[in-house]
Amino acid sequence: MSTSSSSSSIKTSRWLAFHALLVFAFLYLPIAILILYSFNGQGVGGFPPRNLTLSWYRILFSDAPIWDSVLNSLLVAAAAMLIALLFGIPAALAVDRANFPGKALFRRLVLLPLILPGIITGLSLLMLFRVAEVKLSLLTIILGHGTALISVATTKVFAGLQKLNRAQEEASLDLGATYWQTFWRITVPNLKLSIIGAALLIFTLSMDEIAVSFFLIGRDNTLPLEIWGRLRRGITPEINAISTIIFMFSLLTIVVWYRLRTRAEVTPEIGAELVETAGRS
C-alpha cells in the first residue's frame, strides 16, 4: 500500500519537474534563440545558425536612426520617471496617511492605470492632445508614459510606507523635529529603497512601452517603435542584435536592484542573528 503510494508520488514529482522544465523552456527558449540568431551569418533563416559573426553588431553600431531612437527612449524614460515619481510619491503619502472624503475611491482610481489597457490610456490622451491642439512629439509621449506610470510609483512607495514603522516618525517628533524635518530625515531615508525600486521599474517599463507611444508618437521614434517599423519591412539579425543589447541592459538593471536590496535588507538581519548567537554563548 505504502510503497505504491510513494512510487506514485515520485511519478507525480517527476511529472511536475518535467512540467517546470517545459514552462522554463517556453519562457526562455525564444529569448535564447533571439540572442543566438543575432550572431547568425546567414540572415534570419536556416537552422542551425551557421557562420557565426559579429557583423550584425557592426551594422547596428553604424546605424544612426536606431541610436537616435535609443536616445529618444532614454530621454522619454528618464523624464517619465521623474514625472511619475513627482506625482506618485505624494499620492502614496496621501493614500497612506491623509484622511479625506473619497479616499477609498482615490486609492482605487490611482491604481487603475495599472490594469487599464495601454490602448485606452493612449487613445484617451491622444484625444486630449487633439482637443488641446498639442502637436504630437516626444513631449506627448513623455506625458503619456509619465501619467500611465504614476500608479507604479504610487504602489511601490505605498508598499514601502506600509512597512515603515510609524513609531520612528513619532520618535522624531518627540525629539523635537518638526513634521517637515521628520519627513526629510526619517521618512525619506526609510523609503529610499522603494523609491529607487520604483524608479528602475518605471524606467524599464517606459523603455519598452509600445501601446501608449504608438498613439502619441510624433516625428521622433522611440526604440520599440523604430524596431516595430523595421520589422514591417522585413526582419534582419540587426534587430536581434539590438534586442540582445536591450536584454542585457534589463538584466543588468535587475542585478543592480537585487544587489541594492540585499545590501539594505539582509545585512542587518544577519547582524542581528550574529549578535543573538553571541549573546547566547
Partner 1 sequence: MATTTEAGFTDKSKPDSTSLLSIRSVAKHFGKNIVLRDISLEIAEGEFLTILGESGSGKTTLLRILAGFEQPTSGEVWMQGERLDTQPPYRRRVNTVFQHYALFPHMTVEQNVGYGLQVAKRPAEEIKSRVAEALAKVKMSTFAKSKPSKISGGQQQRIALARALVNRPRLLLLDEPLSALDANLRREMQVELKALQREVGITFIFVTHDQEEAMVMSDRIALLRSGELEQVASPREIYHRPATSYTAQFIGHTNLLYADVRQGTAMCDRLVWPTSLPDGSALFSLRPECIRLARIAPPAIGSANPLSNIRFRATLRDQAFHGATDLLHVESDGGLILTIRIASHDLPNSKAPLEFEFSAADAIPVRDSDNKNEERR
Pairwise CA distance, residues 154 & 253, whole Å: 20
Residue 152 Cβ vs partner 1, minimum distance, rounded to whole Å = 25
Contact with partner 1 (CB under 8 A): which of 26, 47, 99, 269? 269
Should residue 275 be labelled a site residue for partner 1 when binding is judged by CB under 8 A? yes
Which string of DSSP letters, residue by residue, matches 141-198? HHHHHHHHHHHHHHHHHHHHHHHS-HHHHHHHHHTT--HHHHIIIIIHHHHHHHHHHH
Q: Which is nearer to partner 1, 133 or 276 (CB)?
A: 276
Q: Which is nearer to partner 1, 96 or 208 (CB)?
A: 96
Should residue 64 be labelled a site residue for partner 1 when binding is judged by CB under 8 A? no
Q: How many residues bind partner 1 (CB under 8 A)?
A: 25
Should residue 99 be labelled a site residue for partner 1 when binding is judged by CB under 8 A? no
Q: Which is nearer to partner 1, 6 or 174 (CB)?
A: 174
Which residue in 139, 134, 147, 140 sits closest to 86, CA to CA?
Answer: 147
Should residue 176 be labelled a site residue for partner 1 when binding is judged by CB under 8 A? yes
Should residue 266 be labelled a site residue for partner 1 when binding is judged by CB under 8 A? no
Residue 260 Cβ vs partner 1, minimum distance, rounded to whole Å = 14
Residues 51-54: contacts with CB under 8 Å, at least 24 apart: none
Pairwise CA distance, residues 172 & 179, whole Å: 9
Residue 181 Cβ vs partner 1, minimum distance, rounded to whole Å = 6
Contact with partner 1 (CB under 8 A): which of 66, 153, 186, 227? 186
Residues 19-38, mask of contacts with partner 1 (x by CB under 8 A): --------------------
Residue 127 neighbours by CB distance under 10 Å: 11
H runs (alpha helix) in 38-137: 55-61, 64-97, 103-115, 118-131
